[in-house]
Chains A and B, each alone.
Chain A
Amino acid sequence: MCRIGAIKSTDYVHPSKALLLMRSQQKGHDNSGFAMVMQDLGGRFADYKDLPILSMACTDKGMATAEDILHKEGFVRVMQWSPEINFRDELNIEPMPNYVFQVFQYPRSFKYAPQEEKEELLVDMRLKLRNVLEENDDGYVYSFWPDVITLKEIGDPQDIGTYFGLWKEDRDFTAKVITAQCRQNTNYDIVRYAAHPFFLQGYTALANGENTFYEKNKNFQNGLYKGYIGFESDSQCFLYTLHYIHKILKWPLEYYKHAITPLPFEEMAKREDGEALKFIRSSLSNLEINGPNTIIGVLPDGTLFNTCDAKKLRPTVIGRHNGTVVMTSEVSGINEVLPGRNWEEDIYTSERETVVITNNLEVQRWQQ
């Protein structure tokens, strides 16, 4: 089973913290990969908050192709950074030749475009790049979004950390929200895209578990929005549902829980908003999840949350100390990162609960 974790902090945090968080939970995964999404970036990316960053792993040819496409669309590169590679033969990793994080200026014609249009443009570009690069296995485009960096790799998480020099803390590569996963690969071929966290238009989701409603979810999501593609992992559906509820339907976050694990009919009937819940349950029955899962999600504004399936068959624990909140699959991870905290205040999210961490690190517990 995958192990997942998230750190949200008022200060900028280096990804070494995420590696530490994950390493202590190592017995729970099979070391077949590591992935992370960093949001609200500090260090060298701090000055480019509004400009989209392309996160890509590719061949030389792939890089040239991607650049051509973006330039043709009018994107202008403003900054580029690649992590320093520490190659050693004994490392268990299957790297791509290049890892690039490139900051772009929007095309001139989009200078005064409304936010929505820019957001659609970024999705279109990412899908286009992905599509073209996929043809000859020339590269993988993980995200193209302001203030967000995504890294995914196949191999032993420990070695991936070494390869990218992520174990050594520095102030140039930091973020206020970091989500990460160490992978257990059971259902699928080992594919780079398949690693969580999944990202779309500012939304991130990662899950520990299995989606028994994968087929239903996928069949339905396929037609809902152009960005709902891939489905390399059965948990990718959770991101799309989150995006659909919050971004497309513009419903408050609490309805995410109502969509994925609706209340039993009897309980719905007792509630003031029962009628609305009934409609949601009818219309979105294909987005329900039934399998054992815990889901960690991040909203575009940085809000972090955790919720579980209605049977609560996968663990998560949330701990807090001095301006940092950590949520992860096993408490051993939090012990590692926040050793000084009062563990009696740890939260174990219940099956009808959504635990939300706001930007000032207030912890809210919403009962469904």
Chain B
Amino acid sequence: MATMRVNEISRDDLDWQINYSTERCTMCGSCVAACPFEAIEAGMEKRRKVVSDYLTPEPKVEFKAVPVIKQKVDVYKFCRGCGVCERVCPNTAIKPVRNEDSRFTIKYRSILADPYKRGGRANLSTGVRTLDKIRVGRISQMTDPSLDASRHTFDMLAPFGRILPADQIPFVLENGKLKIDSGVLPPMNWIYPVIIGDMSIGALSWRMWEAMAIATAYLNEECGLPVRMCSGEGGVPIRLLKSKFLKYTILQIASGHFGWNRIINTMPYMQELPGGVLIKIGQGAKPGDGGLLQAKKVASHIQEIRGVPKTDLLSPPNHQGLYSIEESVQKMFLTFNSAFKFKVPVAIKVAASSTSVSVYNNLLRDPYNIVGGFFLDGILGGTGAANEVSLDHTGHPIVSKLRDCYLAATHQGKQSQIPLWGAGGLGQTGNLAADAFKMIALGANGVFTGKLMLQLAGCVGNDHGKCNACNTGLCPVGITTQNPTLVKRLDIDRVAENIVNYFLSVDSELKKLLAPIGNSSLPVGRSDCLISEDKAVADRLKIQYAC
């Protein structure tokens, strides 16, 4: 009897097991060619078969070598359950099956002495999301008539930029009309209340990034929706920086300071000002850990854009050179404000956390009025790669934190002075409009969303450990990879089209929700129109409890 090596990794330890049928397989090789993880390979198996060639049984034993598709059992080359092999197989001869009894991540750690890393999804599902426990409960009736979603006009724009209190606007009265007195005022733009969240051109493939940029431009120029896209940390192609589409882009600078040299150097050649600047202090998906772009994804164009060699690139969790909020305000805001001559709104993004309200309060009280937005990112966001322990076990849900910030501002009579934007798992269950509406009614001025864009592009991953290989640089559908072959799997035009279509549906659905509550503009802070059938949620968010 063969020796049994119980401490070796075995097929039984893996998350996914390949279910393969020799009878259906024509050995076309498509699956092996399609699997970017090299988790399957062609092999030979010896088969014993008893046959009889006569009318009366005359059994004889035959041995045959048959070609088969085999699953690899390897801590580096393991099946991610992405299902790409199944998609390409003409005969449905192969598919991954989830192994409920997997011990893979334990084996991984014990063999490699290294934390397990994967794509940006929190795979520890904690049940129904808070947003799904909230409903729009104020339905207008006779006393406050509702609107007709298809007939009325709606004014759905959100502010991006610092809003001055009315008594601080430098008005002068000329012939009975108010005029703005000259002088520098905080820049403010009215934009669509849903922003394409910050995903870097390193994390995404250039085709994915381009598709989003095309969709953004199309939404602005053809559909009349002033949607903005945030570049993410990691620089922007010079072509875009010099183009007229820059006005739809919010440039991000983050703690890695990647790509900023090129942006600064391109400034004299910019035809348009960017739509805004977003300074990332923290992010919700891997809070306190920092983004991780592994060397395999640092392709030559990424090296060029970021000005870095091919190496693992970590965006530290915060700006290590700055020691306080006040200092970051002083240094970064003044730098960027003056760089763009105080014409571009500058906002910051932080991770939702127990301390976010303190940061927000601090910014609200800033006497120089320079912070143009507070972006809060909750635990369920994220696209990039990170240690699994951070993804699953750190972070803060977005809903209550957003609400806390709004109420803190309201308490001081400073609501909306620094517009609040929230994200982290919005659109996770498919309906971004509903999530956005509820967030807005709870106090957000707008929301941003990232991972949903990946779904629209054809991401095959989910929150139950399927795929989640964004960290490997081998994304099977070409979204989060720089591998030239894989990237070609992504159809730029189709992705752009899907994003545009989705936004158009969000726009209709938002109106469908605004109409019954009788609102023709965004219901910021109108928590009176929300109810929850969960007492704890209702109490925590200070909305009506209904049962």
Chain A residues within CB distance 8 Å of chain B: 1, 186, 209-210, 212-216, 219-220, 222-224, 244, 248-249, 251-252, 254-255, 264-265, 273, 275-276, 278-280, 282-286, 288, 290-292, 310-311, 313
Count class of interface residues, chain B? 35 or more
Output the least CB separation between B397 and chain A (Å): 24
A215 nearest CB neighbor, chain B only: B528
Does A265 lie within 8 Å of B518, measured CB to CB?
no
- Residue B413 CB within 8 A of the other chain: yes
* Contact A290 to B521, CB < 8 A, known contacts A210-B143, A280-B166: yes
Q: Which residues of A contact B163 (CB under 8 A)?
A: 282-283
Q: Mark B428-462, 1 if CB is under 8 A from A, else 0.
A: 00000000000000000000000000000000000
Q: Which residues of B contact A273 (CB under 8 A)?
A: 177-179
Q: Which residues of B contact A264 (CB under 8 A)?
A: 153, 155
Output the least CB separation between A134 and chain B (Å): 24
Does B144 lie within 8 Å of A222, measured CB to CB?
no
Q: Mark B149-189, 1 if CB is under 8 A from A, else 0.
A: 00011010101000111110101010011111000010010
Does B167 lie within 8 Å of A249, measured CB to CB?
yes
- Residue B525 CB within 8 A of the other chain: yes
For the residues of B in contact with A, the DSSP-based class is loop
A207 to B267, CA, bound (A): 54
* Contact A255 to B143, CB < 8 A, known contacts A283-B164, A286-B415: no
Does B412 lie within 8 Å of A223, measured CB to CB?
yes
Output the least CB separation between A220 and chain B (Å): 6
Output the least CB separation between B221 and chain A (Å): 16
- Residue B520 CB within 8 A of the other chain: yes
Closest 9 CB pairs of A and B: A223-B413, A283-B166, A276-B178, A282-B163, A210-B144, A291-B144, A215-B528, A210-B143, A279-B169
Output the least CB separation between B318 and chain A (Å): 30
- Taking a contact as CB atoms closer than 8 A, the residue among B167, B176, B416 that contacts A286 in the complex is B416
Does A283 lie within 8 Å of B169, measured CB to CB?
yes
A288 to B525, CA, bound (A): 12
A278 to B188, CA, bound (A): 9
Does B178 lie within 8 Å of A292, measured CB to CB?
no
A280 to B166, CA, bound (A): 7
A223 to B159, CA, bound (A): 22
Does A216 lie within 8 Å of B143, measured CB to CB?
no
In B488-542, the 8 Å CB interface with A consists of: 517-521, 524-528
A280 to B176, CA, bound (A): 16
Does A220 lie within 8 Å of B413, measured CB to CB?
yes
- Taking a contact as CB atoms closer than 8 A, the residue among A212, A215, A249, A276 that contacts B180 in the complex is A276
Q: Which residues of A contact B159 (CB under 8 A)?
A: 282, 285
A288 nearest CB neighbor, chain B only: B521
- Taking a contact as CB atoms closer than 8 A, the residue among B166, B180, B415, B526 that contacts A213 in the complex is B526
Output the least CB separation between B250 and chain A (Å): 18
Does B521 lie within 8 Å of A276, measured CB to CB?
no
Output the least CB separation between A157 and chain B (Å): 21
* Contact A216 to B173, CB < 8 A, known contacts A264-B155, A282-B159, A292-B144: no
Does A222 lie within 8 Å of B166, measured CB to CB?
no
Does B178 lie within 8 Å of A255, measured CB to CB?
yes
- Taking a contact as CB atoms closer than 8 A, the residue among A215, A249, A285 that contacts B527 in the complex is A215
Q: Which residues of B contact A280 (CB under 8 A)?
A: 166, 169, 178
Q: Which residues of A contact B413 (CB under 8 A)?
A: 220, 222-224
A220 to B415, CA, bound (A): 8
A49 to B165, CA, bound (A): 36
Output the least CB separation between B184 and chain A (Å): 14
Does A279 lie within 8 Å of B525, measured CB to CB?
no
Q: Which residues of B contact A220 (CB under 8 A)?
A: 410, 413, 415
- Residue B76 CB within 8 A of the other chain: no
Sample 15 A-B pairs with CB under 8 A, ordered by A number. Answer: A1-B143, A209-B144, A210-B143, A210-B144, A223-B413, A251-B178, A252-B177, A265-B190, A276-B171, A278-B188, A278-B190, A280-B169, A285-B521, A286-B525, A311-B147
A279 to B417, CA, bound (A): 12
A265 to B415, CA, bound (A): 21
Q: Which residues of A contact B528 (CB under 8 A)?
A: 214-215
A219 to B542, CA, bound (A): 14
* Contact A219 to B415, CB < 8 A, known contacts A265-B157, A280-B166, A282-B188: yes
- Taking a contact as CB atoms closer than 8 A, the residue among B178, B179, B416, B518 that contacts A291 in the complex is B518
A285 to B445, CA, bound (A): 11
B172 nearest CB neighbor, chain A only: A276
Output the least CB separation between B403 and chain A (Å): 13
Q: Which residues of B contact A249 (CB under 8 A)?
A: 166-167
A186 to B53, CA, bound (A): 94
- Residue B145 CB within 8 A of the other chain: yes
A313 to B143, CA, bound (A): 10
A273 to B144, CA, bound (A): 32
Q: Mark B405-421, 1 if CB is under 8 A from A, else 0.
A: 00000101101100000
Output the least CB separation between B444 and chain A (Å): 13
A284 nearest CB neighbor, chain B only: B166
A145 to B147, CA, bound (A): 41
A279 to B166, CA, bound (A): 8
- Taking a contact as CB atoms closer than 8 A, the residue among A186, A224, A283 that contacts B143 in the complex is A186
Q: Which residues of A contact B153 (CB under 8 A)?
A: 264
Q: Which residues of A contact B185 (CB under 8 A)?
A: 279
- Taking a contact as CB atoms closer than 8 A, the residue among B144, B147, B520, B526 that contacts A216 in the complex is B526
Does B520 lie within 8 Å of A290, measured CB to CB?
yes
Output the least CB separation between B378 and chain A (Å): 24
Q: Which residues of B contact A286 (CB under 8 A)?
A: 415-416, 525
A280 to B170, CA, bound (A): 11
Output the least CB separation between B347 and chain A (Å): 15
- Taking a contact as CB atoms closer than 8 A, the residue among A244, A251, A254, A313 that contacts B145 in the complex is A313
A246 to B89, CA, bound (A): 73
A224 nearest CB neighbor, chain B only: B413
B190 nearest CB neighbor, chain A only: A265
A22 to B545, CA, bound (A): 39
A66 to B189, CA, bound (A): 52
4 further interface pairs, Cβ-Cβ under 8 Å (given A244-B166, A276-B178, A311-B145):
A219-B525, A223-B412, A282-B159, A292-B145
A279 to B190, CA, bound (A): 11
Q: Which residues of A contact B525 (CB under 8 A)?
A: 215-216, 219, 286
Does B518 lie within 8 Å of A279, measured CB to CB?
no
Q: Which residues of A contact B526 (CB under 8 A)?
A: 212-213, 215-216
Q: Which residues of B contact A251 (CB under 8 A)?
A: 171, 178
Does A216 lie within 8 Å of B166, measured CB to CB?
no
A209 to B143, CA, bound (A): 7
Q: Which residues of B contact A219 (CB under 8 A)?
A: 410, 415, 525
Q: Mark B133-150, 1 if CB is under 8 A from A, else 0.
A: 000000010011101000
A223 to B463, CA, bound (A): 44
Q: Which residues of B contact A279 (CB under 8 A)?
A: 164, 169, 180, 185
* Contact A276 to B144, CB < 8 A, known contacts A251-B171, A283-B165: no
Does B518 lie within 8 Å of A275, measured CB to CB?
no
* Contact A285 to B524, CB < 8 A, known contacts A219-B410, A251-B171, A265-B155: yes
B174 nearest CB neighbor, chain A only: A273
Q: Which residues of B contact A290 (CB under 8 A)?
A: 518-521
A283 to B185, CA, bound (A): 13
Output the least CB separation between B340 and chain A (Å): 19
Q: Which residues of A contact B140 (CB under 8 A)?
A: 212
Output the least CB separation between A308 and chain B (Å): 13
Does B171 lie within 8 Å of A216, measured CB to CB?
no
- Taking a contact as CB atoms closer than 8 A, the residue among A212, A215, A275, A313 that contacts B517 in the complex is A212
- Taking a contact as CB atoms closer than 8 A, the residue among A222, A255, A265, A311 that contacts B520 in the complex is A311
A212 to B31, CA, bound (A): 59
Does B169 lie within 8 Å of A252, measured CB to CB?
no
A223 to B176, CA, bound (A): 28
Q: Which residues of A contact B521 (CB under 8 A)?
A: 285, 288, 290
A312 to B508, CA, bound (A): 24
A244 to B147, CA, bound (A): 29
A279 to B162, CA, bound (A): 11
A140 to B147, CA, bound (A): 39
Does A252 lie within 8 Å of B178, measured CB to CB?
yes
